[in-house]
Structure 1
Amino acid sequence: MGKSQKKRAMRRHNPMRVPDSHLPKGLASASETSSKTEAILPIIQKMQGTDAAERKWACVAVSNLIQNDPSTRRLLQGKNIVGALITRLTDSEEEVVIEALGALRNLCIDGGYDICAEMYNKSILVPLKTFVPKVSTTLSQYLDGSQNAPENAQKLVYEFADNLITVLWCLSETSNKALTAINELKLTPFLMSFLAARTKIPLAPVTAAAQCLYVITDDNYPAIADVRSDGSYIACLMSIINPDPNEPTTRGKASGDCPDPRAVTLRVLASGILRNISPIPPPSAASTIDVDKDIVLPQLQPVIESISLADASASALQLISKQDATPSIEKLSLKNTPKTDHKSPEEIELERLESRLRTVQLALEILTGACATLPDPDPEPETQAEPDDDDDEDEDAEGGDKDIVDGDDELPSDMDMVVDEQGVESATEPGATITLPALVQPLLALIQPTTLSFPPLASPSPHPPTTSVLSAIHIAALECLNNIFLALARTGSDAAGAKAVWDSVWTALGVVGTQTGLGQEKRRAVWEIAAGVLWGVASVCRGSLDPISEQIQALTALCDSVSGDADTDAQLRVKCIGTLECLAMSPSPSSIQANAAIATYLLSMLPSSTSPVSPAGTEPMLQAASSLIDIYSDEAAPWDVNFRTGGYLQRLAGSVDGVKKAVRAIDRRKEGGRELRRRGEEVRDNLVAFIQYRKGLRL
C-alpha cells in the first residue's frame, strides 16, 4: 500500500460547517424536513424582481434562513439559488451586490464542496475577478489617506473584501480545475496586501486573506513561487509569528478583556504558509531556519494545549440553552431588513467558540504534516518502461531460498500515513524526535469525545457547527498521533509510555462507539484513523501488549466492515491486520489462545485450492501473508506451538499458487499499482522462502 498521500480534497480546513449527511436525498425530503418551505418562493421571486430593496431583502433572507439549517439550504439549492445570487453580483445596485456576495460566502462555508463546485460551474469567477482590483484600489486609497471615506463606508468595504476572499478560498479547494483558474488571477499580491496592513484594518479580512493564501500555497507551485519571489512577503509572514511588542495584536476584542481569537488564528496560518513554501530560498534571512522545528512546533504546540474540549462542549451547551430561536420569516420584513451579521449575543459567543476550535483543528492539520517523518522507499523512476503483461509469468518464477524479511528490524513499508514531501526527514533528526513525545499528552486529551462530539443516533446535534468542529478535531488529533508513532516506531521509544497511549485510544473508541447510518460517518472516520494509531503504538510495544479478546474482536469486526470505497476498505484492513500481528506476538503464556485466534483469522484471508481468490482483496491478503511470516519466523517463540499443531505450514503451502496469481493480476498502470506490485512480489518471494525454511526444520 505504501504511504497514503494527502489529497487536496482532504485538506479543507472547514469542509462542511453544518453537516447534512443525516438527511435523505432529494427535494421532496428537503421540503419535508425544512420548517421554512413557504418562505422559499417569495425569496426567489423578490430576488428576480424590479425593486432593488426587495432584491436586497431576498439576499439577506438567504443568509439568515440557511443558518444551521441544511434542509432549507438544500431546498434553496434545488431552486437554483446559487445561479440567482451569481446573477445579482452584476446588479445595478451596489447594496444588492454586497448582500449577494455575503449570501454566497455563507453558502460556501455551510454547504461545502458541492455548492462550491456548483458556483464554479456557473462561472462565479467572472464577476469575482472584477472585484479584486476594485477592492485592492480602494484599500490602497484608505491606507494612504487619499480617500477620507466615512467609517461606515470603510467597514462596508472590509466586509465585502472578507466575503470575496472567503469565496475565493473555498473555490480554490473545490477542484484542480478551479485552483488552476484561481492561479490565473495572481492573488498573492492582493492577499499579502491585507497581511501587510494587519495593524491598520480589521482582523476579519486579514485572517481570510491568510486562510486563502494558506490554501493556495498547499502543494500548488505557482502560488508557492509567487510568495518565494518577494522577500518582503516572507518578512511579513515572519513578523506575524514574531510580532513587534508594540504591535496592537489585541486590537478587535471580541468580549471582555479577551483578544480576538483570530489573532491566534493568524499566527497559526502564517506558520502554515511558511511551512507550505519551505524551504525558504536565500537571500532571505529565514532561509537558514528549520521551519518545522523552529516555527511550527513552538508556535502550534501551545495552541493545541490551550483549550479543554470538555469545557468548550459545556460552554456551547450552556449558550445553546439561552439562544434565541432562529430568525423567522416575519423578522425579515422589508421595513426592518436585518443585516447578514444580525446575531444574538449567544450566537456571537458560539461563533467565537467555534473560531477557537477551528484554530485548534487547523493547528493539528499543520502539525500532522510536520510529524510525517518517513521518506518514500526508493521510488522507481517515472520514465521506467512498463513491462509487457506477457513478461509477468517470467517474473513469478520461484527464485529459490531468499532472506526472510524480519518485521522487528524494519517498519512495514505499507503502514498508512499522511505525509508531506518537503522536509520529510527533519523530524527524524535527534533534535526533532525529542519534541514528538511532548505532543502526545495534549493530543490524547483532544481525541477524547465530548457530549457534543458526535450527533445523536435519533436526532441531529443541538448545534451542528460545534459538533462538526469537535469531531474534526478528534480526527485531526488522531492523524497527528498516527504520524508521531510512525516516527517513534522507526526510532525506538519507551514501550511503557506507548502502552498508556494504547489504553487511551481504546478508551476514546469505547465512547465513540460503532453506530452506523446516516449522519454517523464521522464515527467510522475516527475508527479508520485510530486503526493506524493502534498499529503504530502496537509496533512500538511489540511483544509487550497483552491481547484482550474484546479488542481483537473489535479489530476483526472493523476489518470485516465495508464502507463502500474499495481503496479505503483495503487500507483499513491492512492497518487492522498489522495491529493484530503485533498482538499475536505476546510472549505471555495466557496469550497462546489469542495467537491461535488471530492466526486463524489471518489464514482465512489467504487463497486456497478450494477458494483461489482471497475474500479480503489483494492488498489485505498480502499483509496477512506477511504478518503470518513475521509472527512465526522464530520457531523458538512460545506461540510457535500453534504453527506446528495447527497445520499452518500446509495451509500456507496451499496458498502459494493463489498468491502468485493475485500478484500477477496487479495492474501497475493504476495509481499505486507499481508499488503494490513490488510489495506483492516481495511477499510472494518471502512466502516461498519461508515455507521452504519451515519444511527444512522438520518440526
Structure 2
Amino acid sequence: MGKAQKKRAMRRHNPMRVPDSHLPKGLASASSTSSKSQEILPILQKMESTDAAERKWACVAVSNIIHNDPSTRRLLQGKNVVGALIARLTDAEEEVVMEAMGSLRNLCIDGGYDICAEMYNKNILTPLKAFVPKISEVLAQYLTSPNSAPENARQAVYEFSDNVITTLWCLSETSNKALAAINAINLVPFLMSFLAAHQKLSITPVVAAAHCLYVLTDDNPPATSEVRSDAGYLSTLLSIIQSDHSAPNGKAKEDPDCRSVTLRVLCSGILRNISPLPPPAAISSVDIDKTVVLPLLLSVISSVSLSDASNTVQQVVARQESEIKMEDLSLKHTPKSDHKSDDEKHLERIETTLRTVQLALEILTGMCATLPDPGPDGEDDEVEAEADDDESIDGDAEVPEDGDMAVDTADSSSKPASSSLHSLIPSLLTLIQPVTLSFPPLASQSMHPPTTSVLSAIHNSAVECLNNIFLSLSTGSSTLSMDQQSGLKAWTDVWTALSVVGTEFGPGQERRKEMWDNAVGVLWGIGNVWKGVLPANEEQVRVLMQYLEANSDPRTQVKCIGTLECLAQHPESVQGNQVISSYLISLLPGGSAGGKIGTEPLIQAVSALIDIYSDENMPYDVNFRSGGYLQKLDASIDGFKKAVKAIDRKKEGGLDLRRRGDEVGQNLLAFVNYRRALRL
C-alpha cells in the first residue's frame, strides 16, 4: 500500500458534543439565528448586580439558554460572557462561584476549542489552580469523617469538583501552551486521589478525573512519567479495570448512569498511554493490550445496538414534544440548578453509553495502529538524497535475471498484526452502519443533535479502527486472507454503509465527508488483504473515480487509486481492469487527465500500473497490449522524473515522498525495459 497511510496519531478526546463549525461567523449571524437574543442583555446585566441572588440567577441562566443552542452560545460569547463568568469565580458568595463554574464547564463542553482558548487567554487557570487544594482539603475531610457534612453539601462539592476537573480537561486539549500551563499545576496526585477513593465518592467527579488523566497522559511525558513511576497509581488503575461489576446471580449490577463502565474504559486508556510499564511494577510482565484492554473494550463495543439507541431517542423526543411544555424559565422565575425531567435524564444516559463506545473505539484505534512512526530525517539522508538527484531515475535499470518485476511494495518494517485483531472486525463492521439519527438531515437540523453527534463520531471512529486493522493485516502475515467470504462481506458492508451516508456534502454535513475519506482507506486495506478476490464492480469503480476527481486532498486521492489498483487485479474482471487501467493511464504526464492530480497520487498511479501488469500471464494483460500501455508508460518517464524532482524535501513528509518517487521511478524504468524485452 506504499506509504500513503501512516499510523494515525491518536487524537485527543474531543469534548465538544455538537459540532457547529459550519455555522456562519459573526455577531450578526448569531443574533439572527438565535431565538433567545432578547434574553442576553438582562443576563449580562444581572451578572454584575449587587444582589448575590441575581448574580447566581444569571450564571445559571447561561447554562439554560446555551443548551444545544450554538447560535445563542456564540451570541453570548460575542458579548464577553466568558470574561464575566471568570470574574464571578472570585465572587464573595460561594453559591455564585459554584454556578459560574458550572456554566463555564458547560461552555467548554458545548462550545469546544474556541471557547476553551478564550478562557485560557482570559486567565481562567489562576482561579482554577486555587480551587485544587481547597477541593482536596474538603474531600479529605469527607473521607476521614463521612458524616461530617450533610448529603446535599457533599453533592455540591462533588458537582463543583466535576466542573473544575472537566474544565481543566477541556483546557488541556486547547493548545500545547495551555497543556504546559496545566502540567505546571501538577494535577496527577489530585486526579489520582479521586480514582483511589472511587468506591467512597460520587462517580461523577471520579469519571471526570479519569477523563482528565486520560487526556493528560496522551503523549504528554510529564504526566505519563509521573503515573508510570508510582506503583500505587498503577495498582489503582488495574484494580478499577478488573473490578467485578456482576451481582452474585451473574447479572450486571445496576448502573443507572452507565458511568462505571466509562471509568473502566478510561483507566484502560490511561494504562495504554503510559505503557510500557517499568519492570519493578507488578503488572510490567502482563500483556496489557491482550489480557486487559482488548477484552474490556471488545465487550463494550459489542454490547450496544445503535439502531435501538436511535429509535429510543426518537421516541423520547417525540414524547417530549407532545407533552406539555416545560415550565417557563423566563426572567420572572429563578431557574433551579437541576431541572432535568426523567426523559432528559434518559437521553443523557443513552448519550453516556454511546460516548463510552466512542471512547473505546478511539483507544482501540491507537492499539490497532501497529505501523511504526517514521524516524527523524537525518542529515545523512539529506546528503544522500541530494547526491541522487540527477541519477535516481535516469538511465536504464537492470532487468532481474529471474524475469520477475521488482515492483513497489508496502513498508516491510511494520509489525505483523495480532490475530486477536480479527475478533474486532465483526463488531466494527456493525458500528459503521448508519441509523436514523446518525447524520443531520440534508435540509434541516437533527431532532436531537447530541445523539447525532455521538452516533456520527462512533461511525467514524469505527471506520478509523478498521482502517488501522486492515492496514496492519495487509502489511503483515495473516491467515485471514484465506477466508474469501470474510473479505467479500467486509467489502460489501463498507459499501452498504457508504450508500446510506451518501455523497451530498456541505455545511453541517462534515461528518459525512469524513466518513467517506476514512472509508476509502478501509476499502484499500480490504483490497490489499483480499487482492484478486474482489470483483471490479462497475458502479463502485465509477464512484471511486468520481470521488477522486472531486477531492483535493492528495492522500484521499492516493487511497482511491490504491483501491482501484486492487480491483483491477481480479483475474476475471477483464472489462473492469480495462476501465481502471485506462483511467490510471490518463493520469500520467501527457495523459488526457494529466495535471489533475498532484505528485503523491501520480506516484501511486504509476506504482499501481506496474503492480497490475507485473504478471503478463494474467487474463487481463490483454488490455496492456491492446491499449498500447508500454508506449504510454515509456512516454511518461520524463514527465514523471520532472514531477519527482520538483518535490520539496523540506516540507513535512517531503523527503519520504521523494524517496518513494525515486523508488517508483526506478521500478518504472525496469518495468518498461522488462515489458519491451517480452516482445508481446
State the TM-score, normalizing by the size of structure 1: 0.91
1:154 matched to 2:154? The reply is yes
More deviation in 126-135 or 140-149? 140-149
- Residue 313 of structure 1: which of 310, 313, 327 is its match? 310
| TM-aligned CA deviation for residue 87 of structure 1 | 1.5
Q: Any stretches of 5+ residues in structure 1 without a counterpart?
A: 415-420, 564-568
Matches within 5 A, 1:398-417: 398=394, 400-402=396-398, 412-413=410-411
1:4 matched to 2:2? The reply is no
Name the CA distance, whole Å, in 2 between partners of 1:246 and 1:507: 37
Matches within 5 A, 1:204-223: 204-223=204-223
Aligned-partner residue type, residue 13 of structure 2: R
> Where does residue 647 of structure 1 map in the other structure?
628
SS at the partner of 1:288?
A: coil
| TM-aligned CA deviation for residue 28 of structure 1 | 1.6
| TM-aligned CA deviation for residue 604 of structure 1 | 2.1
Name the CA distance, whole Å, in 2 between partners of 1:662 and 1:12: 39
Is the 8 Å Cα contact of residues 113 and 174 (structure 1) preserved in structure 2?
Answer: yes
Q: Write out per-residue CA displacement over residues 34-90 of structure 1, whole angstroms, 9 at most, x where no aligned residue.
A: 110100111111112222211111110110101111111111111111111111112
Q: Write out per-residue CA displacement over residues 424-481 of structure 1, whole angstroms, 9 at most, x where no aligned residue.
A: 84x73xxx31x22211111111111000000001101011000000000001111111
> Where does residue 568 of structure 2 map in the other structure?
584
- Residue 449 of structure 1: which of 418, 431, 434 is its match? 434
- Residue 574 of structure 1: which of 558, 576, 587 is its match? 558
What value does the CA root-mean-square deviation take over the aligned residues?
Answer: 2.7
Structure 1's 574 and 2: CA in aligned 2 closer, same or farther, altered over 3 A? closer
Q: Percent identity?
A: 59
> Where does residue 198 of structure 1 map in the other structure?
198
More deviation in 449-458 or 632-641? 632-641
> Where does residue 517 of structure 2 map in the other structure?
528
Q: Write out per-residue CA displacement over residues 314-334 of structure 1, whole angstroms, 9 at most, x where no aligned residue.
A: 000011112269998951546
| TM-aligned CA deviation for residue 597 of structure 1 | 1.2
| TM-aligned CA deviation for residue 203 of structure 1 | 0.2
- Residue 518 of structure 1: which of 507, 524, 541 is its match? 507
Q: Write out per-residue CA displacement over residues 228-273 of structure 1, whole angstroms, 9 at most, x where no aligned residue.
A: 111000000010011267999x9x99xxx54431000011011110
Aligned-partner residue type, residue 491 of structure 1: S
Aligned-partner residue type, residue 521 of structure 1: E
Aligned-partner residue type, residue 28 of structure 1: A
| TM-aligned CA deviation for residue 287 of structure 1 | 0.3
Q: Write out per-residue CA displacement over residues 540-566 of structure 1, whole angstroms, 9 at most, x where no aligned residue.
A: 221111111110011111111236xxx
| TM-aligned CA deviation for residue 338 of structure 1 | 1.5
Is the 8 Å Cα contact of residues 214 and 266 (structure 2) preserved in structure 1?
Answer: yes
Aligned-partner residue type, residue 370 of structure 1: M
Name the CA distance, whole Å, in 2 between partners of 1:207 and 1:403: 62
| TM-aligned CA deviation for residue 277 of structure 1 | 0.5
Name the CA distance, whole Å, in 2 between partners of 1:313 and 1:287: 41
Is the 8 Å Cα contact of residues 61 and 332 (structure 1) preserved in structure 2?
Answer: no
Name the CA distance, whole Å, in 2 between partners of 1:247 and 1:282: 35
> Where does residue 537 of structure 1 map in the other structure?
526
| TM-aligned CA deviation for residue 146 of structure 1 | 8.5
> Where does residue 271 of structure 2 map in the other structure?
274
Name the CA distance, whole Å, in 2 between partners of 1:136 and 1:283: 30
> Where does residue 417 of structure 1 map in the other structure?
none
Is the 8 Å Cα contact of residues 364 and 477 (structure 1) preserved in structure 2?
Answer: yes
| TM-aligned CA deviation for residue 380 of structure 1 | 6.1
Is the 8 Å Cα contact of residues 538 and 582 (structure 1) preserved in structure 2?
Answer: yes
- Residue 677 of structure 1: which of 650, 654, 658 is its match? 658
Q: Write out per-residue CA displacement over residues 176-222 of structure 1, whole angstroms, 9 at most, x where no aligned residue.
A: 11111111111100000000010111000000000110111011111
| TM-aligned CA deviation for residue 145 of structure 1 | 1.6
Structure 1's 647 and 208: CA in aligned 2 closer, same or farther, altered over 3 A? same
| TM-aligned CA deviation for residue 350 of structure 1 | 0.4
Aligned-partner residue type, residue 451 of structure 1: T
Is the 8 Å Cα contact of residues 161 and 205 (structure 2) preserved in structure 1?
Answer: yes
Structure 1's 437 and 398: CA in aligned 2 closer, same or farther, altered over 3 A? same
Matches within 5 A, 1:117-136: 117-136=117-136
Is the 8 Å Cα contact of residues 407 and 607 (structure 2) preserved in structure 1?
Answer: no
Q: Write out per-residue CA displacement over residues 617-636 of structure 1, whole angstroms, 9 at most, x where no aligned residue.
A: 01000000000000011111
Q: Write out per-residue CA displacement over residues 497-540 of structure 1, whole angstroms, 9 at most, x where no aligned residue.
A: 11111001111111111111111111111111110110111112
Is the 8 Å Cα contact of residues 2 and 675 (structure 1) preserved in structure 2?
Answer: no
SS at the partner of 1:639?
A: helix
> Where does residue 169 of structure 2 map in the other structure?
169
Name the CA distance, whole Å, in 1 between partners of 2:165 and 2:9: 23
> Where does residue 614 of structure 1 map in the other structure?
595
> Where does residue 458 of structure 2 map in the other structure?
473
Name the CA distance, whole Å, in 2 between partners of 1:274 and 1:610: 53
Matches within 5 A, 1:425-440: 425=415, 428=417, 432-433=418-419, 435-440=420-425
Is the 8 Å Cα contact of residues 407 and 611 (structure 2) preserved in structure 1?
Answer: no
1:637 matched to 2:618? The reply is yes
| TM-aligned CA deviation for residue 488 of structure 1 | 2.4
Structure 1's 6 and 98: CA in aligned 2 closer, same or farther, altered over 3 A? farther
Q: Any stretches of 5+ residues in structure 2 without a counterpart?
A: none
Aligned-partner residue type, residue 64 of structure 2: N
| TM-aligned CA deviation for residue 387 of structure 1 | 3.3
> Where does residue 548 of structure 2 map in the other structure?
559
Name the CA distance, whole Å, in 2 between partners of 1:258 and 1:368: 27
Is the 8 Å Cα contact of residues 3 and 376 (structure 1) preserved in structure 2?
Answer: no
Structure 1's 147 and 131: CA in aligned 2 closer, same or farther, altered over 3 A? farther
- Residue 503 of structure 1: which of 470, 483, 492 is its match? 492
Is the 8 Å Cα contact of residues 495 and 544 (structure 1) preserved in structure 2?
Answer: yes
| TM-aligned CA deviation for residue 374 of structure 1 | 2.8
Matches within 5 A, 1:329-408: 330-333=328-331, 335-339=333-337, 341-376=338-373, 379=375, 382-384=378-380, 386-387=382-383, 391=387, 393-396=389-392, 398=394, 400-402=396-398
> Where does residue 488 of structure 1 map in the other structure?
473
Structure 1's 234 and 49: CA in aligned 2 closer, same or farther, altered over 3 A? same
Name the CA distance, whole Å, in 2 between partners of 1:79 and 1:680: 53
